């Protein structure tokens, strides 16, 4: 188990192993999430926009503006 000490100002230093495991770097933010059992989980609150690269696959062929508009209209109509 990894531990940290709270300073007189209420600050802690997240140990390097934990930062590495969580993918955190200087300037990143974390959130403290209260769990149902009353404990808290510390989770990353922000990621670089670059971390989203590759999530949506490229289409096999270019999509026309008309196709995009049709898809938007279909989504708005709940189809």
Half-sphere exposure of 71 (CA within 13 A, CB side): 6
Average pLDDT over residues 46-73: 83
pTM given for the model: 0.52
Q: Are strands 40-44 and 30-34 parallel, antiparallel or unpaired?
A: antiparallel
What is the number of structural domains in the chain? 1
Residue-number span of the structural domain to which 27 is assigned:
16-76
- Residue range 35-57, pLDDT digits in tens: 999 999 998 887 667 777 788 88
Nearest to 42 by CA among 22, 26, 20, 27: 22
Beta strands in 1-79, from DSSP E residues, in sequence order: 30-34, 40-44
Q: Is residue 22 part of a domain?
A: yes
CA–CA separation, 31 and 18 (whole Å)? 15
Q: Is residue 8 part of a domain?
A: no
């Amino acid at each position: 188990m990894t531990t940290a000490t709270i300073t007189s100002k209420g600050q802690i230093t997240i140990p390097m192993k934990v930062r590495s495991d969580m993918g955190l770097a200087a300037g990143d933010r974390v959130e403290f999430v209260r769990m149902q059992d009353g404990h808290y989980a510390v989770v990353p609150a922000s990621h670089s926009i670059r971390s989203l690269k590759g999530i949506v696959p490229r289409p096999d062929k270019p999509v026309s503006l008309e196709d995009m508009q049709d898809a938007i209209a279909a989504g708005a109509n709940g189809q």
